[in-house]
Amino acid sequence: MAGKFSGKVALVTGAAAGIGKATALAFAREGAKVVLADVLVKEGEEAAQAIRKAGGEAIFVGTDVSKPAEVERAVNQAIENFGRLDVAFNNAGIEGRRAPTADCTEETWDRVISINLKWSTIRG
Ligand SMILES: NC(=O)c1ccc[n+]([C@@H]2O[C@H](COP(=O)([O-])OP(=O)(O)OC[C@H]3O[C@@H](n4cnc5c(N)ncnc54)[C@H](O)[C@@H]3O)[C@@H](O)[C@H]2O)c1
């Protein structure tokens, strides 16, 4: 596929749904080889399959971005399958429970920070 990202390799986290899925499909339409990463295995595999059916190149890697070893694996899969990594769209995120700050548990805080910020920022 020719396009703005022809010859590039893009990693998209949270790629099984919503903004991440739309972005993964858009990268592929623009010629990128795409690594889709998400905790939702069935939906992520389906999104990668949709790209391949349309003539693009894509793989899905089951990844929980709050776990550093899994993020590392997704990056390594990009390099092993496509030889390089040019773009990382660190999109995976959760809202957590909506509640007044005083009612936010440490567990909820840690989960939101580890998914939305921690490894996305360090690895990105
Ligand atoms: N939709 C909005 O209006 C909006 C506004 C501001 C920010 N955002 C942010 O944009 C991003 C995408 O939003 P969306 O509306 O597409 O969300 P969404 O809930 O539709 O999709 C998020 C995706 O991230 C995945 N995900 C969740 N936890 C994960 C984890 N630990 N590891 C890997 N993948 C994980 C989910 O499985 C899902 O596929 C999020 O970070 C969200 O916080 C969205």
Is the shortest distance between the CB of 16 and ligand 1 below 6 Å?
yes
State the distance from the centre of ligand 1 to the C-alpha of 93, rounded, in angstroms: 4
Give dist(CA 47, CA 53) in Å, integer. Answer: 10
Tell me how many domains the chain contains: 1
Please report the pLDDT score of residue 98 as a whole number.
84
Please report the pLDDT score of residue 120 as a whole number.
60
Please report the pLDDT score of residue 97 as a whole number.
81
Q: Residue 94's domain spans which residues?
A: 9-123
Decide if 2 is inside a domain: no
Give dist(CA 122, CA 45) in Å, integer. Answer: 26
Decide if 69 is inside a domain: yes
CATH of the domain at 26: 3.40.50.720
Amino acid found at 76: N
Please report the pLDDT score of residue 99 as a whole number.
84
pLDDT averaged per 10 residues, the chain (length 124)? 91 98 98 98 98 98 96 97 97 90 90 86 51
Decide if 1 is inside a domain: no
Is the shortest distance between the CB of 41 and ligand 1 below 6 Å?
no
Decide if 3 is inside a domain: no
Please report the pLDDT score of residue 121 as a whole number.
55
Residue closest by Cα to atom 7 of ligand 1: 93
